Amino acid sequence: MVNLRRRLIRVYADVENAVGMPPEKLRNHIQNNIGDASTNFAFLAKRNQDALGEQWRAAGFQICLAGNEADSADHRLIATMVRDIQQDSERGNPPGTLVLIATGDGVYKDVLKLAERLGWQTIVIGWGNLSATLIAAAHESINLAKCSS
């Protein structure tokens, strides 16, 4: 049975891969142009918690800490995306919109393609020059540095 509630909008931010992006501008852009987010997760390594965590928390993001190893935040973000997509399917929620905040990291291409195959609309929002790999993997890509809203 398919759940007829509003379609989900899930936001996953790779904070370390979006350096310079003002999280409040990001939240406003999403709300004004995509819709009210169902979830707002910001992923970062523990070593960056003090430097970056409070700014994203103040903008309404739930902080998700990963280990201090290289790419640990990337791996936790991907695992969370896959888990959420699976749980939504099990609950009968229709595919919605998956918004990934990252600029130069092509590591997310496979999870974006998976989400697309399962019916999710995928949007990548970056700050500055976005990775060609991410642009190709998503339905839509946005360079927030060039947006006025």
Q: What is the rounded CA–CA span in Å between residue 121 and residue 141? A: 11
Q: What is the rounded average pLDDT of the residues 125-143?
A: 93
Of 52, 99, 45, the C-alpha closest to 76 is 45
Q: Are 89 and 2 in contact (CB under 8 A)?
A: no
Q: What is the rounded average pLDDT of the residues 127-132?
A: 90
Q: Are 107 and 135 in contact (CB under 8 A)?
A: no
Residues listed for the chain: 149
Per-residue confidence (pLDDT) for residue 49, from 0 to 100: 81
Per-residue confidence (pLDDT) for residue 9, from 0 to 100: 96
Q: Are 92 and 7 in contact (CB under 8 A)?
A: no
Answer whether residue 1 shows pLDDT above 50.
no
Task: Give the H/E segment covering residue 119.
Answer: none
Answer whether residue 6 shows pLDDT above 70.
no
Q: What is the rounded average pLDDT of the residues 116-127?
A: 95
Note the CATH architecture for domain 9-146.
3-Layer(aba) Sandwich (3.40)
Per-residue confidence (pLDDT) for residue 149, from 0 to 100: 60
Chain segment 56-114, per-residue pLDDT in tens: 999 999 999 998 888 899 999 999 999 999 999 999 999 999 999 998 778 999 999 99
* Residue 2 confidence class, pLDDT cut points 50, 70, 90: very low
State percent of the chain over pLDDT 70: 95
Per-residue confidence (pLDDT) for residue 4, from 0 to 100: 44
Averaged pLDDT of the chain: 90
